[in-house]
Amino acid sequence: MSTLPDSTQPENEGPDHERAYMRWDGWGDPARAHGLPTGVKLLLAAVLGRVPKAPPAPRLAEVTISTPPLADDDLAALAKAVGGDHVDAGHDVRLLHAGGKSTPDLLRRRQAVQAAPGAVVLPATEDEVAAVLAVAGERGLAVVPFGGGTAVTGGLTPDAGPHRGVVSLDLHRLSGLVALDDLAHEATFLAGTTAPVAENLLAERGFELGHFPQSFEFATLGGFAAMRSSGQNSAGYGRFDTMVTGLRVVTPTGTLDLGRAPGSAAGPDLMRWFLGSEGTFGVITQVRLRVHPTPEARLFDAWTFGSFAAGVDGLRGVAQLGTGPTVLRLSDEAETAVSLAQVGSIGKALAKGCTAVVLHEGPAELAASRREATARVLRAAGGELADPRLAASWDHGRFRAPYLRDALLAGGVFCETLETATTWSNLQTLKAAVTAALADGFAGERARNRILCHVSHVYPTGASLYFTVIAGLGTEPLEPWERVKSRVNDAIMAAGGTISHHHGVGADHAPWLEHEIGSAGLRMLRAVQAELDPAGIMNPGALVDRRLR
Ligand SMILES: Cc1cc2nc3c(=O)[nH]c(=O)nc-3n(C[C@H](O)[C@H](O)[C@H](O)COP(=O)(O)OP(=O)(O)OC[C@H]3O[C@@H](n4cnc5c(N)ncnc54)[C@H](O)[C@@H]3O)c2cc1C
């Protein structure tokens, strides 16, 4: 086991390396923004007709912040906790921490007046996190933990609740590898480590985590744990919460160190309570994770199916037999058409049915034999091997799609995603219910729309459904979507789905949580919050509908 000498100085860029921010009114690195491929432009024109271009977002400096910065004595008390250089109440920095990256978040960035936290505080150690929570508790300030800032369900909204102001607790300086147990295949990271930094640190040692959500390039390990994220290789490596073997969490009333053994019957599993707690119980400061040796082979395949139903049968067969792909995803007819439009001439040859992308990884011989076993199941369901360039193009573009959304918004096209999950027996019913709610919800300027869907997280008993909706942006882009989303959430609940398979609850899904877990479940959550955070300072806008707190 290689443990680094001092966990406050882990191996990484160090706590004072510069914070790289994403484009504030869009996704990712501004230098990598790109326009729409011609095929997509043509497809959109055919489906949506002519849509007027959207006015650009105001420049950061032009936005008026509706909420005041923290008072000088609050800032001085926070500076005592983390050092004056690490407390920032500047206009731009506050706006950079004003929310996540859902489409409604990005549409709010286009408004002239916006809410923002009163200050941003950047602790570098667990003790500093505890000191910030103590100051916030004493001074009546809410604390919103901020990882990569990629949340899409409103969990970063600077909601003060009953408190005087909001501190955004940016975990960026709490970054690095604390320990790698190369015998047990376990790695411990500080929670603010971003996914690419974690993968690079592991790769240098011959290991990989294998958690690749589409937000991979910016999201943090603490954020994945707090949200119960699921990545594109979940078929093989599991969702993030199944990778977690230990957690350290600082709460306003004490620190917990959870996950003592790989299996335990020491009462209920308290660690699970913090997975999905969305910053409302405390701050996750360290995450211990199951890792695996860097795969020797990566074997990509693309398959086509005559229908979504046939493809779903194939995926179910693979998940239930356990043939071991790491990526297993199936696009419906509409999503297949859009994906093919992006890959131009390769796509034209295959513009029918549904495509699936499958990846097998690991030691070369094992990966090859698993690939054969998967192929037998997919063929039996009516699948045919397709041009392998389709899989290569998915792999190449897997982290570029969020940039596409920016190009769509700039071109006057609304684009948002939502997701749920259910059993295989109920999958088609749920898909039909969500599709109907989306289609019925839009009217007027958005009556012409396109609904795409894919399955990308599979289990022996069921799967997730991930929807993308594209429509004209219209003159009132925000309000109609809130209405439609509410109808869709009702439809998901009525059709037996979960309110979220991996985007979490945040503020947006909180009103539906009671339907999902019942009033006794909600009382349990509130009881834990009351015990760990009696003043209710931890992320008051997220998880539990504030009216019920
Ligand atoms: C383009 C795009 C693609 C996405 N793709 C996926 C995907 O494929 N799969 C998926 O699961 N999700 C996806 N997401 C959603 C998002 O990336 C995940 O929810 C991710 O887990 C958030 O991590 P983060 O570090 O950015 O956390 P943040 O967005 O900073 O925070 C998310 C929530 O967790 C809390 N939090 C953050 N860090 C901590 C901590 N250390 N302790 C306690 N609370 C904390 C915050 O207060 C907030 O409530 C996507 C989002 C976008 C914008």
How many percent of the chain have pLDDT more than 90? 80
pLDDT of residue 349: 47
pLDDT of residue 3: 40
Alpha-carbon distance of 424 to 465, in angstroms, equals: 11
Distance 354 CA to ligand 1 centre (A): 30
Q: Please report, to the nearest 10 degrees, the dihedral formed by the alpha carbons of residues 203, 208, 211, 214 taken in order.
A: 30
pLDDT of residue 383: 98
The chain-wide mean pLDDT, for the chain, equals 93
Summarize pLDDT for 87-121 with one digit per residue, the tens: 999 999 999 999 999 999 999 999 999 999 999 99
Residue 9 has pLDDT above 60, yes or no: no
Ligand 1 pocket, residue 215 CB under 6 Å: yes
Mean pLDDT to the nearest integer, 456-461: 97
**Strand spans (E) along 332-482:** 354-362, 384-385, 413-423, 449-455, 462-472
The three-class DSSP label of residue 455 is strand
pLDDT of residue 6: 40
Do 16 and 86 form a contact (C-beta atoms < 8 A)?
Answer: no
- For a mutational test of ligand 1's pocket, the pick from 23, 121, 214, i.e. the residue with the most ligand atoms closer than 8 A to its C-beta, is 214
Neighbour-count burial for 257-289, b at 16+ CB within 10 Å, e otherwise: ebbeeeeeeeeeeebebbbbbbbbbbbbbbbbb
Residue 423 has pLDDT above 90, yes or no: yes
Q: How many CB atoms lie within 10 A of CB 33?
A: 15
pLDDT of residue 401: 86
Do 104 and 480 form a contact (C-beta atoms < 8 A)?
Answer: no
Ligand 1 pocket, residue 171 CB under 6 Å: yes
Ligand 1 pocket, residue 226 CB under 6 Å: yes
Ligand 1 pocket, residue 129 CB under 6 Å: no
Alpha-carbon distance of 239 to 5, in angstroms, equals: 31
Q: What is the pTM of this model?
A: 0.96
Residue 415 pairs in a beta bridge with 470
Distance 502 CA to ligand 1 centre (A): 9
Instruction: Give the pLDDT band of residue 548 (cuts 50, 70, 90).
Output: low
**What residue's CA is closest to ligand 1, atom 49?**
155
pLDDT of residue 82: 98
pLDDT of residue 77: 98
Do 255 and 290 form a contact (C-beta atoms < 8 A)?
Answer: no
- Kindly give the number of the ligand 1 atom that is closest to the alpha carbon of 220: 25
The three-class DSSP label of residue 497 is coil
Ligand 1 pocket, residue 123 CB under 6 Å: no
Residue 11 has pLDDT above 90, yes or no: no
- Kindly give the number of the ligand 1 atom that is closest to the alpha carbon of 506: 49
pLDDT of residue 1: 44
- Kindly give the number of the ligand 1 atom that is closest to the alpha carbon of 224: 21
Summarize pLDDT for 38-90 with one digit per residue, the tens: 878 888 888 888 887 887 889 999 999 999 999 999 999 999 999 999 999 99
pLDDT of residue 192: 98
**What residue's CA is closest to ligand 1, atom 50?**
215
- Kindly give the number of the ligand 1 atom that is closest to the alpha carbon of 171: 41
Q: Rounded to 5 degrees, what are φ and ψ at 158?
A: -75, 70
- Kindly give the number of the ligand 1 atom that is closest to the alpha carbon of 145: 47
pLDDT of residue 344: 59
**Strand spans (E) along 214-291:** 244-251, 254-258, 283-290
Residue 7 has pLDDT above 60, yes or no: no
Amino acid at 297: A
Summarize pLDDT for 206-237 with one digit per residue, the tens: 999 999 999 999 999 999 999 999 999 999 99
Residue 288 pairs in a beta bridge with 188, 246
Comparing CA positions, the residue from 506, 398, 424, 415 lying closest to residue 467 is 415
| First-last CA distance in the chain | 44
Distance 256 CA to ligand 1 centre (A): 22
- Kindly give the number of the ligand 1 atom that is closest to the alpha carbon of 543: 49
Residue 440 has pLDDT above 80, yes or no: yes
Distance 152 CA to ligand 1 centre (A): 7
- For a mutational test of ligand 1's pocket, the pick from 189, 212, 215, 229, i.e. the residue with the most ligand atoms closer than 8 A to its C-beta, is 215
Q: What Å distances lie between residue 114 and 61, 65, 87, 410, CA to CA?
A: 12, 5, 21, 20
Amino acid at 54: A
Mean pLDDT to the nearest integer, 475-503: 93
Summarize pLDDT for 242-284 with one digit per residue, the tens: 999 999 999 999 999 999 999 999 999 999 999 999 999 999 9
Residue 460 has pLDDT above 80, yes or no: yes
* Higher per-residue confidence, 344 vs 361: 361
Mean pLDDT to the nearest integer, 450-457: 95
Ligand 1 pocket, residue 152 CB under 6 Å: yes
Ligand 1 pocket, residue 539 CB under 6 Å: yes
Q: Which helix (H) or strand (E) holds 189?
A: strand 186-190
Ligand 1 pocket, residue 284 CB under 6 Å: yes
pLDDT of residue 36: 85
